[in-house]
Amino acid sequence: MTANTLAQQIDAASVSFEELDKHHRPMLKLVEQLIGVVPNCDRLLEIWPTGFRTYNLLVPNLLNLPASLFGSGAPKELVGLSMYISSRAAECMYCSAHTCSFALRRGATPETLTGNYSPVEAAVAAVAEGLGRVPAHLTKADITDLRKHLDDDEVEWVVLGAALMGFLNKFMDTMGVELEESAVNDVKDLITNTGWKAGKHAWTAEDVDGVFGDQLDGRTLGPTPTPSENNGVPGYKQVKKDGIGTYLRVIRQAPGAIRRDRAWTKGMSSRPGVALLALEEEVGYAYTTLASLNQKRAVRAIATVVRDNMNPDDTTLGLGAKCMIALVYAQVVGNEVLTADAVQMAERLAPEIGHRRLAAIGKFAAADMTEARIPPGLSTVESAVVMLAKAAAPSPSEVNRITIAMAADSLTPAQIVEAVVWISVQQLLHRLYVYYEADHEFDDL
């Protein structure tokens, strides 16, 4: 089979669900309760274990799970709406399906997910759409309108939901991860008429054989019945809202997931100032957007992710290549603050790149794709990752067969996953910077 996506290209190197279940069962089971399926991306992320850890740190902490299921933070159906709308704005069809299912399970109505909004839902949708587009178009007025309905903490949780999707949208869309048949069946009857289609995330029907081959909790995890198998009832009407069963299953898995989270975040503070100092000391650079966050779980998780992704002992690419990725992404999306971050990070962590080469990389990133020329003097790996970053940065990504072939020829599967994970972290940070810049737009006037 010719590889049409990066995920197809490296599928043979992915980790089996059986192996994942041996080592990460609580994390897998929690996600299954949230969206009804264990996602295929897990198998790819574990190729570079820091990628799997990154994903499983960001999801529960930026969604305030499991506390949000029990009413803590912003209304969970509004967070689900923010996740869905930001995914649609980014044109990530994989995440659009999953977040539609997530929102339905949290209590969002089918009418809301097809655009019939109440005033508070309209305000959430405006902020989420503004954050999800590239280039972003969030305004102070959008945020002010949302604050008419929600308090500051609730607004931040809504924004963190969209920021999390920045990471997930970019990874799933860039990799072209196969969308699970059960996820399609859950939502296609609801959102196909809104323009949704699986696109590159629909591989061959022969590849869909369920999720686990063994039994978990007395049943097999796999595709849900199609509407035709349910007397023609649309799939989305089969999606069950949170209830006592959901809560009991989440509570059952929560202790194991919490222990893993604590082990992964060990040594990282949840206080913004302390976390920034820790990053300065351990990494050599800290992203200042962390100073604006109020939610301690988010601070600790994002700081840990930056620490882990820039650990010289774990990288398969090298810190210099990762600085180049950050610079290319920031330039393509037009984020001046994130561009300055990338330059300063390169000066501290990879001074061998030099100012002239950084300028050349920035020029390459800003050029039209048809006219861009990879700067001379880069290694094979560096050339491949800057090209991949340039193709991946737009939303939707512009990864094509040429990009896939270059990545496959020059990078190992672990290097491909690491590069796309880091690009995805940049998109998370980009959405946070966009929000706080818009929120403080007139503060100095």
Percent of the chain with pLDDT over 90: 84
Instruction: Work out the average pLDDT over 301-318.
Output: 98
N-terminal to C-terminal alpha carbon distance within the chain: 59
pLDDT at 441 over 90: no
Global pTM reads 0.92
Instruction: Work out the average pLDDT over 106-134.
Output: 97
CB of 44 within 8 A of CB of 109?
no
Omega of the bond prior to 66 within 30 degrees of 0, cis? yes
CB of 245 within 8 A of CB of 217?
no
Beta bridge partners of 219: 216
Q: Residue type at 385?
A: V
Token code pair at residue 298:
């988010």
Long-range contacts of 409-413 (CB under 8 A, 24+ apart): 409/384, 410/380, 410/381, 410/383, 410/384, 411/381, 411/384, 411/385, 412/316, 413/10, 413/13, 413/47
pLDDT at 218 over 90: no
Percent of the chain with pLDDT over 70: 92
Domains of the chain: 6-261 (1.20.1290.10), 265-309 (no CATH), 319-411 (no CATH)
Q: pLDDT band at 442, cuts 50/70/90? A: low
The predicted pLDDT at position 445 comes to 43
CB of 342 within 8 A of CB of 433?
no
Token code pair at residue 153:
């903490």
**CA dihedral of 433, 131, 118, 78, whole degrees rounded to 10:** -70
Question: Among 115, 124, 125, 128, which residue's Cα sits nearest to residue 74?
Answer: 124
